[in-house]
A and B are shown apart, each in its own frame.
Chain A
């Protein structure tokens, strides 16, 4: 295959692995197969299987539409039906929170692998995140159904939807990596996830439109990295009814990148000791 000299490897304490990113690429097959495993296993031994990916967002959509749209009478974006506004926020939010949850618990659920085999550990949380994509792809069917019900036609913007989907996953990967690395050492951190998921649902524009946020609070509000993802989704799906606030998008996106950098850095610095302390 290749000569031994090419595989010269020196192991020393604290030695930064220079070929880490190349290694990551070399282990891509493991990434595919771990992602495939998580997908294959996700709905095994369930009665309704993938229908879960439809039922959960549907019920949440109904409740949010009633609470925010009917009872609180919040305005929608343009003339888009409120249910559609909620669903367009719901999809990226579910994508984010599922991905965050999967990433954050991935190392501890793959404990056996980590203590017995070497591979760039970054593979585990990134492969776990793929499951969330599949769930979202299924949920898109629900979106199609609701759009058909309201006879609503999305515009050309929809072609950019995958970009924002990737953005949602990147947003989850930052905190996900940070928490999963810490979770290896202190199992307390897994209790943070349900909290983030619950809390985040209300500070992010899932049940309401970003337009209802008063101007003086916009900056603080935009520090939430999910804001740019959800606003992006609405812009893609609601065919010109939603507008993009570029200023707020930029702040939110910068925050997203910062968290991602922080997560990767923390993960990399702790990675080498994972097998000892897991």
Chain B
């Protein structure tokens, strides 16, 4: 059980990305043509020399992954967690040989199968039966293997009625069920899985999680990438947290999850710390503050009033601006979307800096940490977006006389309970 099956030493992967630079203002057609011609000349010269042609004037080397080392023993179930762009998927892509590393080396012992996407290679014109064979072969199963497991796959997907129907006639849920069930019957020695559990309805997800758990407990080595902390926590014994291409920590899954949460808890709500691209629009978001009881805070008591204050800067007056706030919980579920569209448009924003308040009269969410994302639309165009604009905690508090809170759910619906005895109901009927 102690044999090392995956060893990564100083793994790195870089990509070249191009930037447009400061865009020249086109004034005449002649300028446009001259610029295009120059570009064609430059890129064909690069192509001739065998270099990569990249759009844009400034070319930057971007390291998606740098100096990543780890060892994984046989039978371990390891979760790789991190925020978007931390390099999780790149690790899996390198391990599954889809792309080659720029530096470092990986040693793998055993048959590797990777599941980076559900239903890779499904062809819409082919029937369910045909697609099972096609997808199975793509994932690395032999015909004999697929034949042996065929009934199991069909039963798992609950698709026996539609086996001879082209997949394009399937509902999207059915499609995903069939695809996952082919993948779930892979039996390699090392399995690499990327964020594939977030499919199907709740019941099917439960089934998938169960299947994954069975795979994990059968002695196979599993590498599992996910945003779903609950799933990672349930499946894995060890966690590797990646942050912008580096290993932040490699420890037990409990510690890894709390490490991960701490990377996102460092919260300041000024625009300077926002991780976003340059915004070219003449109106943009400039900050987010959460207020409760009229003071800025990041803790709101359950049931309290909360105010989300969005600061913006407008270079010129704007009409028809829509602000949107998404409230996202720790499991990456959007629990609420607050939008000006549903109330009234902010018809006019005068130029200069200002702010707009979104008042939530009662914070009826379950205690926990929430992330806010902000979007700003002008007319139909989204001009600014910040995925991780700020965070706040919902702190348990007594909502009721006896101080109890429900033990499950996403939100706390205000409700009243009325009891009616049979006699009073009869009375009501007579009246």
Contacts and interface: CB of A to CB of B under 8 A. Distances in A.
Interface string A33-64: 11001001100110000000000000000000
B397 interface: no
B96 A10 contact: no
Interface string B85-113: 00000000111111111111111111110
Contact of A37 (B5, B102, B126, B140): B126
Contacts of A44: 125
B170 to A, nearest CB: 16
Most buried by B among A7, A13, A113, A116: A116
A12 interface: yes
A117 B120 contact: yes
Interface residues of A, number: 38
A112 B121 contact: yes
A246 interface: no
A215 interface: no
Contacts of B47: 186
B134 A8 contact: no
B243 interface: no
A11 B121 CA distance: 25
Contacts of A33: 133-134, 137-138, 143
B163 interface: no
B369 to A, nearest CB: 33
Contacts of B74: 4
Interface residues of B, number: 45
A5 B110 CA distance: 7
B114 interface: yes
A45 B168 CA distance: 12
B98 A9 contact: no
A193 interface: no
A40 B130 contact: yes
Contacts of A11: 94-95, 97, 100-101, 105-108
B182 to A, nearest CB: 13
B142 interface: yes
B137 A9 contact: no
Contacts of A40: 125-126, 130
Contacts of A272: 99-100
A75 to B, nearest CB: 45
A7 B109 contact: yes
B199 interface: no
A7 to B, nearest CB: 5
A37 B100 contact: no
Nearest to B9: A12
A276 B114 contact: no
Contacts of A14: 100
Nearest to A44: B125
B362 interface: no
Contacts of A114: 98
Nearest to A38: B123
B126 A113 contact: no
Interface in B1-51: 3, 5, 15, 47
A5 B142 contact: no
Contacts of A112: 117, 120-121
Contacts of A2: 111
B99 A276 contact: yes
Nearest to B43: A186
Nearest to B187: A1
B121 A10 contact: no
B109 A4 contact: yes
Interface in B244-265: none
A191 interface: no
A13 B104 CA distance: 7
Contact of B53 (A29, A113, A186, A275): A186
B134 A37 contact: yes
Given A10-B107, A41-B123, A44-B125, A117 B99 contact: no
B107 A4 contact: no
A110 B142 CA distance: 20
A1 B111 contact: yes
Contacts of A185: 52-53
Contact of B97 (A30, A113, A118): A118
B313 interface: no
Contacts of B117: 112, 116
Given A41-B123, A117-B139, A7 B99 contact: no
B304 interface: no
Given A113-B120, A117-B138, A275 B98 contact: yes
Contacts of B189: 4, 7
Nearest to A9: B108
Contacts of B338: none
Contacts of A5: 109
B107 A8 contact: yes
B101 A12 contact: yes
Contacts of B95: 11
Contact of B138 (A12, A30, A186, A273): A30
A9 B112 contact: yes
Given A12-B101, A13-B104, A41-B123, 20 more contacts: A7-B110, A9-B112, A10-B107, A11-B97, A11-B100, A11-B101, A11-B106, A12-B105, A12-B106, A29-B143, A30-B138, A33-B143, A34-B137, A40-B126, A41-B125, A112-B117, A117-B98, A119-B140, A276-B15, A277-B52
What are the nearest 5 A-B pairs in CB distance?
A: A118-B97, A33-B137, A11-B106, A4-B110, A9-B108
18 contacts: A2-B111, A4-B74, A4-B109, A7-B189, A8-B107, A9-B109, A10-B107, A13-B103, A14-B100, A29-B142, A29-B143, A30-B137, A41-B123, A41-B125, A44-B125, A118-B98, A272-B99, A275-B98
Interface of A: 1-2, 4-5, 7-15, 29-30, 33-34, 37, 40-41, 44-45, 110, 112-119, 185-186, 272-273, 275-277
